[in-house]
Structure 1
Amino acid sequence: MAWKSRTRSLQVFDTELSADTVEWCPIPQWHNILACGTYQLQKGPDAGPEDAATRIGRLYLFKFRQQGPMCPPLSELQRIDTPAILDIKWCHVPVSERPLLGMATASGELQLHRLIDSQEGRCALQTVTSLGLGPDKLALSLDWSTGRGNSSDVHVVSSDSAGCVNVLSLGENSLTAVSQWKAHDFEAWISAFSYWDTQLVYSGGDDCKLKGWDLRMGPSSPTFTSRRHSMGVCSVHSSPHRERILATGSYDEQVLLWDERNMRQPLSESALGGGVWRLKWHPTHEHLLLAACMHNDFHILHCQQALEGSGGACSVLASYILHNSLAYGADWSQLSLEEPPPCSPLEATEPRQSQTESRTGGHLRIQYESPTASFDTSLEDDTGRYIPESLSPSASSVAGPPACPNPAVDSPAVSCLMASCSFYDHMLHVWRWDWTPQEAGCTGTAQGEGERRAVGEGDGGQAGAPAKYAKCTTHRE
């Protein structure tokens, strides 16, 4: 059966400071809660390159609710000024019956914030505790041991700019350091648990190495060291659905899938054309993987054939290409989307921003009303007349592979709410992806590379630059 893939933008929000991480709450009652973290390097007017530099950040909290076609679905609940934020992750299970958000900061701290009900009757984040990883360090990443719903003996793993990996234990209202060790020669960009055996930890660094660690054996030596990536390893995510399956991403623009039992050779290798900063497995569909690819947008990968041993690259089901800067943060929401996609409230307004792409055969118009308003895209001909999606050579739908979305579930379609954020243009986007059976007599339109791209990268003209340069313009400043 042929499947049709379609993405649709719902809303864009200006975070003012550079946005680099975003997470939907995984706890059922709060699936509509979204957090976004920002990172900004500020320098004094007379300071040298490294003098008087301060890294500032802001933590945003949002609520998503579809209230009708004329109302933006995302509403801001709270903003908290913090040290610059490099990573945020919700604990996958409630702690003291409430969601708990972990945050890695440029001050070298791990901070925990609890989601509570405020006096105004709205949700708000309340600081619970913080713990420093050491002087002159930036905390670069964190992961919870609770990826498969494990609620006992909760731990956090974090990596830092000194190349260290840190394991911490969660108490009632505290974090306690369990172990810290030097894991990489340069920045340890990422650390993660194996969700199937939380005594196993993975780390990736700017030394181009992916390493495994067994906490029962101590950190004196890794269980394996892989040099399969040719540049810095930025992302590691253990599958919560299939035991021993691991996804890794790197500045070398490759996504590798691994079986933990054989770390000498990956199951598959997929070239995505941009440094892979973050990878996220879908929370319920085991074959879907979301990738934030820095200089090459956001992509949804279908990994079924690769996981079944075909050895081929994962196919790209959909790409979200409306960000104009480095693609850093991305996440799936578990919120149910049973209603049809909301219409844009801006179809009758004059655009404030218009950008074109000659390869589409028409003009791409991105319609904005305000930094926090919903927006839509449309394709026009040279006279300004609207080209319907069904007739457009660059319609935002692509034919997917013949496999079902999830063979274990007899589902006619997949509909997902997504969030993504980009760095230099400081934008948070909320969008929807639908994957549905192709109607009889219709064919999907292939979406070529660069189609419907909003040109003008907003990152100093670095669009398309090799991913190895991206690390020099982000968190190493």
Structure 2
Amino acid sequence: MAWKSRTRSLQVFDTELSADTVEWCPLSPSHDILACGTYQLQKAEGGEDAAPSRTGRLYLFQFRREGPMSPPLTELQRLDTAAILDLKWCHVPVSGRPLLGMVAATGELHLYTLLDNQEGGCSLQTMCSLEVGAERLALSLDWSTGRMDSSDIRVACSDSAGCVGVFSLSEGALMALSQWKAHDFEAWITAFSYWNTQLLYSGGDDCKLKGWDLRAAPSSPAFTSKRHSMGVCSIHSNPHLEHILATGSYDEQVLLWDGRNMQQPLGQSAVGGGVWRLKWHPSHQYLLLAACMHNDFHILHCQQALEGSGGACPVVASYILHNSLAYGADWSRVSLEDPAPHSPPATEPKESLAQSRGHLRIQYESPTASFDTSLEDDAGRYIPEASGPPPRSPAPVPAPSLGQDAPSLSCLLASCSFYDHMLHVWRWDWTPETSQQESH
């Protein structure tokens, strides 16, 4: 059966400062709550030797469906903070309330509780904070609660000194359990295995993907992979399929892994841009959202690769309306039950990198302004080392496992881009061609 895919922008919001992370709340009844973090590098006065300052802002929004003429996103709160590098909601309630984690350029981990207010809305209130390390930037965080069934609440952080730390949360306070030097350069990302929360992954600018057994001394990793050819900056454990892990890198590759065999990935997909974030769909096990820096946002269908056929995962949808670095992206659990719009799709497929014409220069700017690398080939067209161009025509995609009572899929997503400081809320509709014809 052929499937029709279309994306549609619902609202665009100017965050004023450079936007780099977005997260929908995973807990009911707060699925309509969205957090967005920003990061602004301010050049210091006093010459080139003066240290720059980094400022940020934390936004809180609510998604409301009040009518076709009303913007669906309502701003509930904005908090001026240190520059924000990553946001993650805890997947289980803490003291009966949602909890948001934030890591900042000051090297601190902050926790905020989502509370109801007198106006009938909600707002974030500071619970606690902890310094991850002095004179470093805290770059990423992840909760151990990804399968939404954990009573042992821990949070892991990575930082610009190459360190990874694990912290416990008890009675509203954070306590350091362990911290160690994990990578030679920036440790861009860390993530728990959601099926074995004693296993922690990390990726760094030393091009290494590592696994750590938290029951053992962190002096040596459980494994080290050098399969990525550039810095590893995104990792996400699949909450639906045990042992499955997705990783992304500045080398523009998405790799899928079986955690029982880290010698060779199950699949490799060239997505045409440094992969800053990866997010598995909250309920559909084969759908993977990728924020691809210089090549927009894409949804990959990973069933064939995970079932052993190998090769690249086909891209089933793309959102290309951002005009700057694609950094933050997340799926919402809000149900979109109305049918797909009959208007033309908002986006058209982009020409692949290998088929574009003219001089193409790609710069990989670090979000922490710690490096700036230009990459191009002799012909003036950039093709990642040891990888082929993304396929122009995706391979046939198997129908998603939606069940007999769900003939189509409609999803709400949010994404943000850096230098144009924009937050987009958009929907993706995936329907069988027959359903489209019958509706007409």
- Find the aligned partners of 2:212 and 2:238 in 1 and give their Cα distance: 17
1:50 Cα offset (Å): 4.8
Is the contact between residue 340 and residue 410 of structure 2 (CA under 8 Å) also seen in structure 1? no
Residue from 379, 386, 410 that aligns with 1:415: 410
Taking the TM superposition and a 5 Å limit, the aligned residue runs for 1:357-436 are 401-406=396-401, 410-436=405-431
For residues 291-310 of structure 1, give each alpha carbon's deviation from its aligned partner in whole angstroms, at most 9, with x where no partner exists.
00000000000000000000
Q: Secondary structure at the match of 1:121?
A: coil
Is the contact between residue 69 and residue 343 of structure 1 (CA under 8 Å) also seen in structure 2? no
Q: Secondary structure at the match of 2:112?
A: strand
Question: Does 1:207 find its partner at 2:226?
Answer: no
TM-score normalised according to structure 1 size: 0.79
For residues 181-227 of structure 1, give each alpha carbon's deviation from its aligned partner in whole angstroms, at most 9, with x where no partner exists.
00000000000000000000000000000000000112010010000
For structure 1, which runs of at least 5 residues remain unmatched after alignment? 345-356, 360-397, 443-477
1:122 Cα offset (Å): 1.2
Is the contact between residue 267 and residue 311 of structure 2 (CA under 8 Å) also seen in structure 1? yes
Is the contact between residue 5 and residue 399 of structure 1 (CA under 8 Å) also seen in structure 2? no
Tell me the residue number matched to 1:118: 117
Which range moved further: 296-305 or 405-414? 405-414
Tell me the residue number matched to 1:84: 83
- Find the aligned partners of 1:334 and 1:285 in 2 and give their Cα distance: 11
1:439 Cα offset (Å): 2.3
Tell me the residue number matched to 2:73: 74
- Find the aligned partners of 1:64 and 1:287 in 2 and give their Cα distance: 26
Taking the TM superposition and a 5 Å limit, the aligned residue runs for 1:290-301 are 290-301=289-300
Tell me the residue number matched to 1:16: 16
Is the contact between residue 56 and residue 84 of structure 1 (CA under 8 Å) also seen in structure 2? yes
1:408 Cα offset (Å): 5.5
Is the contact between residue 199 and residue 213 of structure 2 (CA under 8 Å) also seen in structure 1? yes
1:401 Cα offset (Å): 3.6
For residues 256-309 of structure 1, give each alpha carbon's deviation from its aligned partner in whole angstroms, at most 9, with x where no partner exists.
000001101000000000000000000000000000000000000000000000
- Find the aligned partners of 1:309 and 1:190 in 2 and give their Cα distance: 27
- Find the aligned partners of 1:358 and 1:266 in 2 and give their Cα distance: 27
1:118 Cα offset (Å): 1.5
Q: Secondary structure at the match of 1:309?
A: helix
Tell me the residue number matched to 1:438: 433
Tell me the residue number matched to 2:97: 98
Which range moved further: 48-57 or 137-146? 48-57
Structure 1 pair 120–259 and aligned structure 2 pair: CA distance change class (3 A): same
For residues 327-370 of structure 1, give each alpha carbon's deviation from its aligned partner in whole angstroms, at most 9, with x where no partner exists.
000000000000245799xxxxxxxxxxxx999xxxxxxxxxxx
Tell me the residue number matched to 2:5: 5
1:115 Cα offset (Å): 0.3
Taking the TM superposition and a 5 Å limit, the aligned residue runs for 1:224-239 are 224-239=223-238
1:402 Cα offset (Å): 4.4
TM-score normalised according to structure 2 size: 0.86
Structure 1 pair 129–71 and aligned structure 2 pair: CA distance change class (3 A): same
Question: Does 1:141 find its partner at 2:136?
Answer: no
Q: How large is the RMSD of aligned CA atoms in angstroms?
A: 2.0
Question: Does 1:247 find its partner at 2:246?
Answer: yes
Q: Secondary structure at the match of 1:305?
A: helix
1:411 Cα offset (Å): 2.0
Which residue identity lines up with residue 195 of structure 1 in the other structure? Answer: Y
Structure 1 pair 15–407 and aligned structure 2 pair: CA distance change class (3 A): closer
Q: Secondary structure at the match of 1:213?
A: strand
Is the contact between residue 229 and residue 252 of structure 1 (CA under 8 Å) also seen in structure 2? yes
1:132 Cα offset (Å): 0.3
1:121 Cα offset (Å): 2.1
Is the contact between residue 315 and residue 394 of structure 2 (CA under 8 Å) also seen in structure 1? no
1:135 Cα offset (Å): 0.8
- Find the aligned partners of 1:402 and 1:338 in 2 and give their Cα distance: 23
- Find the aligned partners of 2:10 and 2:311 in 1 and give their Cα distance: 33
Structure 1 pair 400–428 and aligned structure 2 pair: CA distance change class (3 A): farther
Tell me the residue number matched to 1:26: 26
Structure 1 pair 299–358 and aligned structure 2 pair: CA distance change class (3 A): closer
